[in-house]
Amino acid sequence: MTLLIVGATGTLGRQVARRALDEGYKVRCLVRSAKKAAFLKEWGAELVPGSLSYPETLKSALEGVTAVIDAATSRPTDSLSIKQVDWEGKVSLIQASRAAGVERFIFFSILDADKYPEVPLMEIKRCTELFLAESGLNYTILRLAGFMQGLIGQYGIPVLEGQPVWVTGESSPIAYMDTQDIAKFAIRALKVPETEKKAFPVVGTRAWSAEEIISLCERLAGKEARITRMPINLLRTMRRALRFFQWGWNVADRLAFTEVLASGKPLTAPMDEVYTTFGLDRNETTTLETYLQEYFSRIMKKLKELDYEQTNTKKQKPKKTPFKKLNSQ
């Protein structure tokens, strides 16, 4: 089976590629920059040039492909908008996959996307789900809540460095999941007939609020966080202001997601039946406590090693002979 992974250089996509290669699949990755994707080639993946924004590049990329796993999404700093990548690009990919006779299509969506029509990315995910379901492809939709990897920059590093930790309004508890565990579900879906033409929530073991995550980081780092609360009304004002500038559209659309994060409504779902369907063991899923504990353990160990090396360097450094003493000799 040959897999085409789209978005393989991203936080989730690279873990999907790694998992697929580890399980013996032939992996092909659609990439815009071969240089940035060099690590995928080193792992054993085939790189093919192309982009969702250039539909003409998809036909050759899909030749001989059995299944597509779509992990692509626009970034706030991209020159292309969310609409161009996450809607127009995905429509082109789905249509091209249908034309190429692809047997399976795995799509990553967002949990509760249908409940937030005012949030651009959520609404686009909802529409893409519907388009995929009506495409005739044999699909599986995995609805995610959030990545644990994103918590390092948001909470872990600021707590360690004594920088402000930004919290918006009444934070919504979110069932974050390690991208390595999400990748297990994506690759497993290819082998389980019961996942065909269905959508499943794929979320972590429990939902965590921002305050709970900060408290955990404080305990693991042995430091007190500097918490700064951003009023939700200020974020709404910033979003409206950014919409006046084309360069700010992507950022404005991402800021709209704060409406979800600050709603106070938990972003989680029951997973018992999902684990049973996929044949995976819940006990093998990484918990947030374990993930952050491993991160802080590595960092604290490294900091101690650096401190030890600096102390030794100072001890071994020869004392300078005073300038006056040298002259007297």
pTM of the model: 0.87
Say if residue 323's pLDDT is above 80. no
**Percentage of the chain lying above the pLDDT 90 cut:** 69
Say if residue 133's pLDDT is above 50. yes
More confident of the two residues 84 and 291: 291
Q: Looking at residue 100, what is its pLDDT?
A: 98
> For 123-132, 137-146, 189-198, 295-304, which range has the lowest pLDDT when averaged over its residues?
295-304
**Model confidence over 217-234: pLDDT tens digits?**
999 999 999 998 776 665
Question: Which amino acid is located at 280 in the chain?
Answer: L
Mean pLDDT for the chain overall: 87
In this prediction, residues 150-171 reach a mean pLDDT of 88
- Site of tokens 């590049």: 57
Q: Looking at residue 88, what is its pLDDT?
A: 95
In this prediction, residues 227-254 reach a mean pLDDT of 58
Tokens of 239: 């979003």
Q: Let me know the angle formed at the C-alpha of 176 by 22 and 270, rounded to the nearest 5 degrees.
A: 95
Q: Looking at residue 309, what is its pLDDT?
A: 52
Q: Rounded CA gap, 223 and 226, in Å?
A: 10
Q: Looking at residue 237, what is its pLDDT?
A: 60
Pairing of strands 104-110, 26-31: unpaired
Q: Looking at residue 236, what is its pLDDT?
A: 62
Whether the CB-CB separation of 62 and 97 falls below 8 Å is answered with yes
**Model confidence over 190-218: pLDDT tens digits?**
999 999 999 999 999 999 999 999 999 99
Say if residue 135's pLDDT is above 50. yes
CA distance readout (Å), 247 to 79, 83, 253, 273, 296? 8, 14, 11, 43, 36
Buried b or exposed e, range 203-240, using 16+ CB within 10 angstroms: bbbebbbbeebbebbbebbeeebeeeeeebeebeebbe
In this prediction, residues 166-170 reach a mean pLDDT of 75
Q: Which helix (H) or strand (E) holds 14?
A: helix 13-22
Say if residue 162's pLDDT is above 70. yes
More confident of the two residues 75 and 316: 75
